[in-house]
Structure 1
Amino acid sequence: MKRYKVGDIVQIRQWDDMAEEFGTTIHGSIACRSWYFVEEMKKYCGKKLRIIGIRNFNDAYYLNTGNYWTFTSEMFEKGDLSMLITRRQECIK
Structure 2
Amino acid sequence: MRCEAVVSVEQGILQTVPAPDGGAYKEYVLTERGKALQTVIVALSQWGGEFMYAPGEPGSVMVDAKHRQPIRKLELMAADGRVLAPEDGATRLAVEH
Output the TM-score relative to the length of structure 1.
0.25
Which protein, 1 or 2, shows the higher relative CO under an 8 Å CA cutoff with sep ≥ 6?
A: 1
Output the TM-score relative to the length of structure 2.
0.24
Q: Quick check: which one's strand share is greater?
A: 1
